[in-house]
């Protein structure tokens, strides 16, 4: 028996971005052709008139990024003592920020790999800059463990290579696991990101007017001609890399969670950390995608390609992963009581009501109370301003989660005689804020020099739609089609 779609009053004015049959927002605004998609996306890169706002943003980001240069220079000259790390709080901002930045990159891998394998076409508009976000976040994260070893110029000792000293890495150390996990993650992410841009580099090569731009995009396109053989190899490579990347979504942050879980410390030595860390990483990653996507779609007028459908779906993913994170928090509290361990119970009491209890309640407010009480409502999930503010709130909350896990576990351990405290110094803050500028600077350069939205993948969605027969509008995508 056939089902009837939504019934609308004939006098009701329908939103052109809503599919009248399903009531869902469209993935792409109606009216686009192959030509219009190319012009809109390639025009951002090939335009000779760079907006002054872009130069202003780049200058501001580069100025903030100088904090990284100053902070690293002074640290190399003076040592890690300029940070707030002390005994017992030997881990501070460096490990907190490392885990936070790695987590932010997870959404790019999930959007690029897992959603590709599940054939979720709505990912096409956001996967390119989500992948870029992943790579730039890993660049920011990689700074911290290198500096934290104390002698960054000897960091290559962490790699297992034949040497005259006959010294090998300690493979039972999570630090060595991080080296392999993060380096693999970064390598696969860069290759996946670049392979996906090859067809678009071919388009930019053919449309560029300046000889230098033609030459550079010609090299980057690797001789792409759009032949059937090229497309077959491109699709095969994309699926292969998606298959390799999918386990990384789970394994990388699982490995990072082992930095804590393998330690015999109350609050760390728990089996819930791997799924808890992975869900938190995807949660913060999608929040960062919203932080980037919302201003980009407004500044470059991409509301017809990055639509409310994308915002709604990303908010739903945040709701799901945020619920998993909330479950993890609840299990921590429950197990601290159920385990009947004096140490576990005191650890949780100290997190909630100790000298740094304010951090725990800030975490609960920003990670659970505000997002999980509002994202159930569709009007708020498609409210652009609210989502933009919420994305900052969630990322603040996820930073506080790492702060609570690292600091409140270490500064009061088993022996009251060794209790201490933790206070970050100006150099901790300078390096952290500097990585924000570094991240923003890299992203702005990417937005200006490379296609932020994959033209080839957006076009692949158009032939599968219903097309007006004949006439000059034969390629026009109708509202009914999308």
Q: Residue 209 domain-assigned? A: no
Tallying the residues shown for the chain, one arrives at: 482
* DSSP letter for each residue of 307-331: -HHHHHHHHHHHHHHHHHHHHHHHH
Mean pLDDT for 371-400 is 93
pLDDT class of 462 with cuts at 50, 70, 90: confident
The total of other beta-carbon atoms located within 10 Å of residue 337's CB is 11
pLDDT class of 308 with cuts at 50, 70, 90: confident
Q: Residue 185 domain-assigned? A: no
Q: Residue 219 domain-assigned? A: no
C-alpha closest to that of 62 among 437, 445, 447: 437
C-alpha 20/C-alpha 16 separation (Å) is 9
The total of other beta-carbon atoms located within 10 Å of residue 476's CB is 17
Print the domain residue range for 98: 34-178+253-461
Residue corresponding to tokens 């034969």: 474
pLDDT class of 474 with cuts at 50, 70, 90: very low
Query: Model pTM?
Result: 0.87
Q: Residue 75 domain-assigned? A: yes
Q: Residue 399 domain-assigned? A: yes
Q: Residue 440 domain-assigned? A: yes
| CA dihedral for 155, 159, 165, 171, sign (positive or negative) | positive
C-alpha 317/C-alpha 222 separation (Å) is 36
- Give the pLDDT score at 81: 86
pLDDT digits (tens, 9 = 90+) for 179-225: 888 888 889 889 989 998 999 999 999 998 888 999 999 999 998 99
The total number of structural domains that make up the chain: 1
SS3 267: coil
pLDDT class of 399 with cuts at 50, 70, 90: very high
Assess contact for 94 and 174: CB atoms under 8 A: no
C-alpha 448/C-alpha 50 separation (Å) is 8
- pLDDT higher than 80, residue 68: yes
- pLDDT higher than 60, residue 465: no
- Give the pLDDT score at 482: 36
Q: Residue 203 domain-assigned? A: no
Tell me 303's DSSP state: T
Q: Residue 232 domain-assigned? A: no
- pLDDT higher than 60, residue 464: no
């Amino acid at each position: 028996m056939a089902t009837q779609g939504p019934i609308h009053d004939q006098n009701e004015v329908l939103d052109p971005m809503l599919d009248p049959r399903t009531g869902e927002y469209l993935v792409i605004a109606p009216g686009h052709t192959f030509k219009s998609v190319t012009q809109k996306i390639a025009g951002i890169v090939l335009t000779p008139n760079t907006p002054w706002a872009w130069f202003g943003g780049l200058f501001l980001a580069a100025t903030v990024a100088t904090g990284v240069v100053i902070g690293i220079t002074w640290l190399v000259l003076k040592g890690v003592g300029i940070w707030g790390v002390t005994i017992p709080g030997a881990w501070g901002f460096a490990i907190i920020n490392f885990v936070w930045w790695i987590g932010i990159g997870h959404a790019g891998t999930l959007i690029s790999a897992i959603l590709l394998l599940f054939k979720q076409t709505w990912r096409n508009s956001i996967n390119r800059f989500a992948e870029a976000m992943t790579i730039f976040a890993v660049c920011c994260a990689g700074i911290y463990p290198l500096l934290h070893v104390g002698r960054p110029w000897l960091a290559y000792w962490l790699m297992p290579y034949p040497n005259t000293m006959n010294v090998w890495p300690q493979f039972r150390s999570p630090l060595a696991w991080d080296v392999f996990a993060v380096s693999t993650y970064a390598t696969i992410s860069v290759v996946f990101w670049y392979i996906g841009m090859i067809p678009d580099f071919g388009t930019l090569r053919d449309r560029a007017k300046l000889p230098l731009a033609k030459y550079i995009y010609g090299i980057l396109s690797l001789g792409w001609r759009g032949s059937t053989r090229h497309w077959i190899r491109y699709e095969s490579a994309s699926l292969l890399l998606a298959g390799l990347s999918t386990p990384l979504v789970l394994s990388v942050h699982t490995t990072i969670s082992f930095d804590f879980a393998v330690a015999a410390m109350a609050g760390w030595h728990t089996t819930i950390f791997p799924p808890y860390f992975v869900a938190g990483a995807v949660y913060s990653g999608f929040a960062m995608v919203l932080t980037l996507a919302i201003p980009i779609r407004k500044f470059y007028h991409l509301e017809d390609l990055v639509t409310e459908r994308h915002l709604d779906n990303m908010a739903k993913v945040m709701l799901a992963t945020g619920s998993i994170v909330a479950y993890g928090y609840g299990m921590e509290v429950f197990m601290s009581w159920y385990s009947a361990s004096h140490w576990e119970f005191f650890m949780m009491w100290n997190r909630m009501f100790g000298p740094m209890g304010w951090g725990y309640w800030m975490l609960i407010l920003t990670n659970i109370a505000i997002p999980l009480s509002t994202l159930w409502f569709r009007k708020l999930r498609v409210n652009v301003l609210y989502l933009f503010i919420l994305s900052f709130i969630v990322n603040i909350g996820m930073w506080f989660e790492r702060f609570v896990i690292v600091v409140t576990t270490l500064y009061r351990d088993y022996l009251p005689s060794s209790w201490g405290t933790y206070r970050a110094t100006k150099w901790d803050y300078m390096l952290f804020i500097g990585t924000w500028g570094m991240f923003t600077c890299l992203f702005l350069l990417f937005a200006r020099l490379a296609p932020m939205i994959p033209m080839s993948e957006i076009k692949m969605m158009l032939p599968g739609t219903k097309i007006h027969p004949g006439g000059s509008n034969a390629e026009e995508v109708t509202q009914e089609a999308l």
